[in-house]
Amino acid sequence: MKLALEFRKRIPFLRLIPDKVYFDLNFDEFFLPDDEINELRKSLESMLNHYVMTYKTNGFDDKMPKEKHLCFNLEIAELNVRQMKILSDFESIAKRKGVSFCVYRKPLKLVPQIDLKAFPRY
């Protein structure tokens, strides 16, 4: 719980996610940004006009239930070629700290959840 609150303190858009969804996420895949990474993240948000989350480069756990992943709960931003280049440039800088970024749609939009048991291949 303490870690979840610290993420919300450093990454303000996370406060827009309903508590029921937010506190059920897998925080192990996120990177708690230090000052340098958080400045990069905020600059990216400003340049892309979307929300940006910090992840551990190899943090995705595909064995974790999908609803525990932020990317399963929020709509990803659609980026144009220029925006993709900016993201790539910023990720090159952050990579040395083992950080990657994911860009979420602004305004924030929750993805409607479906019953995955009805779809066995998931």
Mean pLDDT of the chain: 92
The region, left, alpha or beta by phi > 0 then psi within -120 to 50, assigned to residue 75 is: beta
Q: For residue 84, what are the CA distances in angstroms to 28, 29, 47, 122?
A: 26, 22, 11, 28
Q: What is the pLDDT of residues 65-110, one digit of tens each?
A: 888 999 999 999 999 999 999 999 999 999 999 999 999 999 999 9
Ordered by start, the domain boundaries in the chain are: 2-108
Residue whose structure tokens are 């990803």 = 76
Query: Contact 48/88 with Cβ under 8 angstroms?
Result: no
